[in-house]
Each structure stands twice: as structure tokens, then as C-alpha cells.
Amino acid sequence: MKWNIVADSSCDLFELEKQYENICFSSVPFVISIGTSDFLDNEKLDIDQMVAVMENSTSSSYTSCPTPYDWYKQFENSEKTIAVTISSKLSGSYNSAKAAMDMILDKYPEKKIALIDSKSTGPELVLIIRKICEFIETGNDYEHVVRKAVEFADHTHIVFALSSFNHLINNGRISRIVGFIAGKLHLWGIGIGDEEGSICIRNKVRGRRMVIDAIIADMKERGSELSEVVISHCQNVELAETLKTSIQNLWHNISVKVIQSRGLCSYYAERGGLIVAY
């Protein structure tokens, strides 16, 4: 019987990193609305076009989380499902998934569905899903896989570097004063996801070298026994690759993967932003 892993499109994956006979993966999309344009965050989304529209628009913008019906369609497809969502502190996606799960279990009480609140976004969901696949491959039963996945998620971290704060401010994710000051001084904001899944700006730095140093400092402070890192970037592969090299120079034999952020994370990170999970 196949396992079904589902994430919302805050996860910077379109497909699993390798093929499995007994595991399938799918995602449910956010919608990014910029002025009169709506962008469905699926595999057809042109990130370059969306970012260009963002930068040229003077209209308001916002994001809409997947509906319960979006989740319901995915849950209906399998007997064993594990769903991973963006932090419930940042979006209503978890609540939508919970409503869908309750409806499905009322109709199909024999199904197994687990919801994992990542308390994060982007590349941290990639790490969690990667680990879920590993737990499944070792032959663990459903309850064990879910328990180990939740434990793993509690010990992963996220740090991000942003050169623009417009959408985080406008959508109430960070303080308007903090973002305004950093923007006016042309500073990069270095932030983390805290233990509750909210966004905290920890530092403000100037220049690419200091961005890398700040991210490395966070990894040294909060990381222990580092083995895996995923770097998502919004139109900034050069800085992402430089960071990757710096990480590997410090931690030998560490796995570091660089990926392009999907629509939702690109919307909030804006051009040039990096999101790092470890």
C-alpha cells in the first residue's frame, strides 16, 4: 500500500528527490495575488514573471492558503497520508488541512492521516519530507514514522537573509518599523523561525560577506551534529552557491543542496533572498 506525502506549496519541492515504489508526493497550491493578477503556485508558475510583476506593481498584494477542499482531494487518494504544512503561526494552511482531515475521517474512518505543523517554511519542509521517506524506507510502521517525523521537525532550524521586507511588512509578518529602518539603510535582515513558528529578525547587516557570516554564525549557535542543509534562493543562485561553499569548507562531508524557491517563498523572500534549513 502506497504512502502519500502531501505538503502545501510553501515547501520548495515539486517532486521527491528520488523515486520510491511505495511513496508518492503531491502539493496543494497557495495563490499569490498581486494587483489584478493571480498566480497559482504550482509547477506551471513562471517565477521570473511573478517576481517581475511584484517589482513593477504599485497595487496591494496578498497570499491565499489552500482551501479544505484542496487538501480533501489529496487525502481521499490514499489510505496512509502524512501532510506537512507551513507554520500555523504564518498561515491558515494547517487549519484548512485539519478541517479536511476531519471531514475525510468522518466519511472514511479507516484512513490514516497525520498532520505535521512544520513551524517553518520552504527548505525546512524539504528536510522533513526527506526524513519521512527515510523512515518509511526502513520499514517502520505508520505510527512510528509519524512520531519520528515530528521529533525530527522539532530539531530542525531555519535562517533567512532578505534584502527587501515589503511583503513581510505588508502582510503583518514582521514589524513595520524594523523593516522600514532596514530598508532605508539598505541592510540585509537576518531572521530565524523561532520555536513557536513565528518570524524573528535577529540582526541587520550590510554586504554579501556579512550575510554569509551571519548565517554561518546562526548555524554554529543553533546547529548540532550538522549533516544536511537545504538552501532556497529567489533569483540569487550565485550567493546561494557561495554560501554552500562556505558551509562545506567549515563542515566536511555535509550534504548541501541549493534549490530555487517556489512561488510562496519567492513572494516573501523577494528577489535575492535566501532561506536556509539545517
pLDDT at 165 > cutoff 80: no
pLDDT at 142 > cutoff 70: yes
Helix%, strand%, coil% for the chain, nearest 5: 40, 25, 35
Q: Pick from 153, 186, 206: which residue ends a domain? A: 153
% of the chain at pLDDT higher than 70: 92
pLDDT at 236 > cutoff 60: yes
Rounded Cα–Cα distance for residues 192 and 194 (Å): 6
- Residue 216: pLDDT band (50, 70, 90) is very high
Looking at the structure, tell me whether residues 175 and 269 fall in a common domain. Answer: yes
pLDDT at 18 > cutoff 60: yes
Q: Convert the pLDDT of each residue in 98-127 to its tens digit.
A: 999 999 999 999 999 999 999 999 999 999
The sheet with strand 255-260 has its strands ordered as 199-205, 188-193, 158-162, 274-277, 228-233, 255-260
Give the residue from 176, 172, 114 showing the smallest Cα distance to 141.
Answer: 114
Rounded Cα–Cα distance for residues 103 and 98 (Å): 9
Looking at the structure, tell me whether residues 137 and 273 fall in a common domain. Answer: no
End-to-end CA distance of the chain: 31
Looking at the structure of the chain, the number of domains it has is: 2
Where in the sequence is the domain holding 207, given as residue range(s)?
158-277
Mean pLDDT of 174-202: 74
pLDDT at 182 > cutoff 70: no
- Please report the pLDDT score of residue 163 as a whole number: 85
Give the residue from 143, 222, 167, 135 showing the smallest Cα distance to 50.
Answer: 167
**142 inside domain:** yes
If one counts every other C-beta atom within 10 angstroms of the C-beta of residue 35, the result is: 13
Q: What is the CATH number of the domain that holds 121?
A: 3.40.50.10440
**141 inside domain:** yes
Residue 45, all three cell numbers: 508558475
